[in-house]
A = this chain, B = another copy of it.
Protein backbone atom coordinates (compact mmCIF):
# COMPACT_ATOMS: atom_id res chain seq x y z
CA UNK A 1 0.00 0.00 0.00
CA UNK A 2 1.37 3.35 -0.90
CA UNK A 3 -1.38 5.78 -1.86
CA UNK A 4 -4.73 4.22 -2.60
CA UNK A 5 -7.85 5.98 -3.79
CA UNK A 6 -10.93 3.88 -3.19
CA UNK A 7 -14.18 4.76 -4.95
CA UNK A 8 -17.30 4.35 -2.81
CA UNK A 9 -19.76 5.67 -5.41
CA UNK A 10 -19.58 6.87 -8.99
CA UNK A 11 -21.48 10.16 -9.23
CA UNK A 12 -22.14 11.80 -12.61
CA UNK A 13 -20.78 15.31 -12.47
CA UNK A 14 -20.65 18.06 -15.03
CA UNK A 15 -17.34 19.90 -15.19
CA UNK A 16 -17.08 20.08 -11.39
CA UNK A 17 -14.83 22.56 -9.59
CA UNK A 18 -12.46 20.78 -7.22
CA UNK A 19 -11.96 22.55 -3.89
CA UNK A 20 -9.06 21.47 -1.70
CA UNK A 21 -9.47 21.66 2.07
CA UNK A 22 -6.79 19.77 3.98
CA UNK A 23 -5.37 20.88 7.35
CA UNK A 24 -2.85 23.71 7.04
CA UNK A 25 -2.03 27.18 8.37
CA UNK A 26 -4.90 28.50 10.50
CA UNK A 27 -6.86 25.40 9.41
CA UNK A 28 -8.81 27.72 7.12
CA UNK A 29 -8.92 25.23 4.26
CA UNK A 30 -10.03 22.42 6.55
CA UNK A 31 -12.83 24.41 8.21
CA UNK A 32 -14.00 25.72 4.85
CA UNK A 33 -14.23 22.25 3.37
CA UNK A 34 -16.07 20.87 6.39
CA UNK A 35 -18.48 23.81 6.31
CA UNK A 36 -19.15 23.29 2.59
CA UNK A 37 -19.80 19.59 3.18
CA UNK A 38 -22.29 20.46 5.95
CA UNK A 39 -24.07 23.28 4.15
CA UNK A 40 -24.24 21.65 0.73
CA UNK A 41 -24.98 18.22 2.18
CA UNK A 42 -22.16 16.98 -0.03
CA UNK A 43 -21.87 13.20 -0.47
CA UNK A 44 -18.75 11.17 0.28
CA UNK A 45 -17.73 9.14 -2.78
CA UNK A 46 -14.03 8.28 -2.40
CA UNK A 47 -11.44 7.82 0.32
CA UNK A 48 -7.65 7.98 0.13
CA UNK A 49 -5.20 6.10 2.34
CA UNK A 50 -1.49 6.67 2.13
CA UNK A 51 1.45 5.09 3.88
CA UNK A 52 2.85 8.62 4.03
CA UNK A 53 0.14 9.59 6.49
CA UNK A 54 0.85 9.36 10.21
CA UNK A 55 1.29 5.87 11.65
CA UNK A 56 -1.18 6.00 14.47
CA UNK A 57 -4.86 5.76 15.22
CA UNK A 58 -6.84 8.25 17.21
CA UNK A 59 -9.66 7.49 19.59
CA UNK A 60 -12.58 9.63 20.54
CA UNK A 61 -14.00 9.94 24.02
CA UNK A 62 -16.41 7.18 23.07
CA UNK A 63 -13.63 4.74 22.10
CA UNK A 64 -14.18 5.00 18.35
CA UNK A 65 -11.05 4.81 16.21
CA UNK A 66 -10.07 7.31 13.53
CA UNK A 67 -7.33 6.69 11.00
CA UNK A 68 -5.41 9.33 9.07
CA UNK A 69 -7.51 9.69 5.94
CA UNK A 70 -8.44 11.90 2.99
CA UNK A 71 -11.93 11.91 1.54
CA UNK A 72 -13.67 13.26 -1.55
CA UNK A 73 -17.24 14.58 -1.43
CA UNK A 74 -19.39 15.71 -4.33
CA UNK A 75 -22.11 18.30 -4.65
CA UNK A 76 -24.54 18.13 -7.55
CA UNK A 77 -25.45 21.76 -8.25
CA UNK A 78 -29.06 22.81 -8.64
CA UNK A 79 -30.09 25.03 -11.53
CA UNK A 80 -27.35 27.54 -12.29
CA UNK A 81 -24.99 26.09 -9.65
CA UNK A 82 -21.74 24.38 -10.49
CA UNK A 83 -21.03 20.80 -9.52
CA UNK A 84 -18.23 20.46 -6.98
CA UNK A 85 -15.73 17.96 -5.64
CA UNK A 86 -14.59 18.75 -2.10
CA UNK A 87 -11.28 17.29 -0.98
CA UNK A 88 -11.35 16.91 2.78
CA UNK A 89 -9.18 15.07 5.31
CA UNK A 90 -7.51 15.02 8.69
CA UNK A 91 -3.92 15.12 7.39
CA UNK A 92 -1.60 15.96 4.54
CA UNK A 93 1.21 13.51 3.67
CA UNK A 94 4.29 13.61 5.89
CA UNK A 95 6.89 13.50 3.12
CA UNK A 96 7.57 15.41 -0.07
CA UNK A 97 7.19 12.20 -2.05
CA UNK A 98 3.88 11.46 -0.34
CA UNK A 99 2.57 14.96 -1.09
CA UNK A 100 3.33 14.69 -4.78
CA UNK A 101 1.82 11.23 -4.97
CA UNK A 102 -1.35 12.41 -3.23
CA UNK A 103 -1.73 15.32 -5.64
CA UNK A 104 -1.14 13.01 -8.58
CA UNK A 105 -3.93 10.67 -7.46
CA UNK A 106 -6.41 13.49 -6.98
CA UNK A 107 -5.51 15.11 -10.33
CA UNK A 108 -6.07 11.76 -12.06
CA UNK A 109 -9.53 11.52 -10.49
CA UNK A 110 -10.29 15.17 -11.29
CA UNK A 111 -9.49 14.57 -14.95
CA UNK A 112 -11.64 11.43 -14.95
CA UNK A 113 -14.63 13.42 -13.69
CA UNK A 114 -14.25 16.15 -16.27
CA UNK A 115 -12.95 18.72 -13.81
CA UNK A 116 -10.99 21.59 -15.39
CA UNK A 117 -10.79 24.03 -12.50
CA UNK A 118 -9.08 23.53 -9.14
CA UNK A 119 -9.20 25.89 -6.18
CA UNK A 120 -6.85 25.38 -3.26
CA UNK A 121 -7.27 27.14 0.08
CA UNK A 122 -4.91 28.20 2.81
CA UNK A 123 -3.84 30.67 5.43
CA UNK A 124 -1.07 33.26 5.16
CA UNK A 125 0.52 33.59 8.56
CA UNK A 126 0.75 37.15 9.93
CA UNK A 127 1.96 38.48 13.27
CA UNK A 128 -1.04 40.81 13.50
CA UNK A 129 -4.40 40.71 11.79
CA UNK A 130 -6.47 43.61 10.52
CA UNK A 131 -10.18 43.80 11.30
CA UNK A 132 -10.86 42.28 7.90
CA UNK A 133 -8.20 39.76 6.91
CA UNK A 134 -6.75 40.34 3.44
CA UNK A 135 -7.08 37.67 0.72
CA UNK A 136 -4.24 36.72 -1.62
CA UNK A 137 -4.08 34.54 -4.70
CA UNK A 138 -1.63 32.62 -6.83
CA UNK A 139 -2.71 31.17 -10.14
CA UNK A 140 -1.75 28.71 -12.82
CA UNK A 141 -2.00 31.25 -15.65
CA UNK A 142 -2.75 34.94 -16.24
CA UNK A 143 -6.39 34.44 -17.25
CA UNK A 144 -7.11 32.50 -14.06
CA UNK A 145 -5.13 35.07 -12.09
CA UNK A 146 -7.42 37.83 -13.39
CA UNK A 147 -10.42 35.80 -12.31
CA UNK A 148 -8.94 35.37 -8.82
CA UNK A 149 -8.01 39.05 -8.55
CA UNK A 150 -11.62 39.87 -9.44
CA UNK A 151 -12.67 38.20 -6.17
CA UNK A 152 -10.98 40.94 -4.17
CA UNK A 153 -7.61 39.28 -3.71
CA UNK A 154 -4.07 40.65 -4.03
CA UNK A 155 -1.35 38.70 -5.81
CA UNK A 156 0.49 36.48 -3.31
CA UNK A 157 4.24 37.01 -3.28
CA UNK A 158 6.37 34.27 -1.77
CA UNK A 159 6.21 30.55 -1.16
CA UNK A 160 3.04 28.52 -0.83
CA UNK A 161 3.91 25.39 1.10
CA UNK A 162 2.11 22.10 1.20
CA UNK A 163 -0.78 20.84 -0.91
CA UNK A 164 -2.20 24.32 -1.52
CA UNK A 165 1.00 25.29 -3.32
CA UNK A 166 1.94 22.04 -5.04
CA UNK A 167 -1.54 21.54 -6.46
CA UNK A 168 -1.68 24.90 -8.25
CA UNK A 169 1.72 24.20 -9.77
CA UNK A 170 0.97 20.61 -10.80
CA UNK A 171 -2.56 21.47 -11.94
CA UNK A 172 -1.15 24.15 -14.22
CA UNK A 173 1.45 21.79 -15.64
CA UNK A 174 -1.28 19.25 -16.41
CA UNK A 175 -3.57 21.73 -18.17
CA UNK A 176 -6.04 22.61 -15.39
CA UNK A 177 -6.95 26.15 -14.49
CA UNK A 178 -6.14 26.61 -10.84
CA UNK A 179 -5.76 29.27 -8.20
CA UNK A 180 -4.91 29.28 -4.54
CA UNK A 181 -6.90 31.46 -2.18
CA UNK A 182 -4.90 32.46 0.88
CA UNK A 183 -6.09 34.55 3.79
CA UNK A 184 -4.39 36.44 6.61
CA UNK A 185 -4.41 34.43 9.84
CA UNK A 186 -2.40 34.27 13.04
CA UNK A 187 -2.22 30.57 12.38
CA UNK A 188 -2.38 29.76 16.07
CA UNK A 189 -5.89 28.32 16.17
CA UNK A 190 -8.67 27.15 13.83
CA UNK A 191 -9.59 30.56 12.50
CA UNK A 192 -13.35 31.04 11.91
CA UNK A 193 -12.99 34.72 11.02
CA UNK A 194 -10.49 34.04 8.25
CA UNK A 195 -12.66 31.17 7.06
CA UNK A 196 -15.65 33.50 6.67
CA UNK A 197 -13.58 35.81 4.47
CA UNK A 198 -12.53 32.83 2.36
CA UNK A 199 -16.13 31.67 2.04
CA UNK A 200 -17.12 35.15 0.94
CA UNK A 201 -14.72 34.97 -1.98
CA UNK A 202 -15.78 31.41 -2.78
CA UNK A 203 -19.42 32.49 -2.87
CA UNK A 204 -18.48 35.18 -5.35
CA UNK A 205 -16.44 32.75 -7.46
CA UNK A 206 -19.14 30.07 -7.42
CA UNK A 207 -21.95 32.59 -7.86
CA UNK A 208 -23.64 31.04 -4.85
CA UNK A 209 -24.81 32.27 -1.49
CA UNK A 210 -23.62 29.68 1.00
CA UNK A 211 -24.68 30.63 4.52
CA UNK A 212 -21.71 31.33 6.83
CA UNK A 213 -23.54 31.59 10.13
CA UNK A 214 -22.55 28.08 11.21
CA UNK A 215 -18.82 28.42 10.46
CA UNK A 216 -18.03 28.45 14.18
CA UNK A 217 -19.46 24.97 14.54
CA UNK A 218 -17.24 23.71 11.73
CA UNK A 219 -14.25 25.45 13.34
CA UNK A 220 -14.96 23.77 16.66
CA UNK A 221 -15.38 20.36 15.08
CA UNK A 222 -12.15 20.86 13.11
CA UNK A 223 -10.41 21.86 16.29
CA UNK A 224 -11.47 18.66 18.05
CA UNK A 225 -10.49 16.36 15.21
CA UNK A 226 -7.10 17.92 14.65
CA UNK A 227 -6.29 18.10 18.34
CA UNK A 228 -6.92 14.39 18.57
CA UNK A 229 -4.40 13.86 15.75
CA UNK A 230 -1.90 16.08 17.53
CA UNK A 231 -1.94 18.59 14.66
CA UNK A 232 -2.74 21.54 16.86
CA UNK A 233 0.14 22.25 19.14
CA UNK A 234 2.41 25.10 20.08
CA UNK A 235 5.16 26.05 17.72
CA UNK A 236 8.37 24.71 19.24
CA UNK A 237 6.67 21.57 20.44
CA UNK A 238 7.16 20.17 16.97
CA UNK A 239 8.31 16.60 17.22
CA UNK A 240 10.93 15.47 14.79
CA UNK A 241 9.87 12.63 12.56
CA UNK A 242 12.61 10.44 14.03
CA UNK A 243 11.14 10.76 17.47
CA UNK A 244 7.75 9.86 16.17
CA UNK A 245 9.02 6.78 14.43
CA UNK A 246 10.73 5.44 17.48
CA UNK A 247 8.03 6.39 19.91
CA UNK A 248 6.66 2.88 20.05
CA UNK A 249 9.63 1.40 21.86
CA UNK A 250 10.50 4.05 24.39
Contact A162/B248 with A96-B54, A96-B94 known, Cβ cut-off 8 Å: yes
Contact residues of A between 104 and 134, Cβ < 8 Å to B:
104, 125
Q: Assess whether A13 is interfacial by the CB under 8 Å rule.
A: no
Give how many copies assemble into the complex.
Answer: 4
A228: which B residues are within 8 A, CB to CB? 158-159
Interface of A is mostly: mixed
Q: Assess whether A140 is interfacial by the CB under 8 Å rule.
A: yes
Contact residues of A between 37 and 85, Cβ < 8 Å to B:
47, 49, 51-68
Q: Assess whether A221 is interfacial by the CB under 8 Å rule.
A: no
Contact digits for A116-158, partner B, Cβ 8 Å, 1 yes 0 no:
0000000001000000000001111110010011000001111
Pick the interface stretch among A164-172, A192-200, A201-209, A212-220: A164-172
Closest-CB distance, A118 to chain B (whole angstroms): 12
Q: Assess whether A10 is interfacial by the CB under 8 Å rule.
A: no
Q: Assess whether A92 is interfacial by the CB under 8 Å rule.
A: yes
Q: Assess whether A24 is interfacial by the CB under 8 Å rule.
A: yes
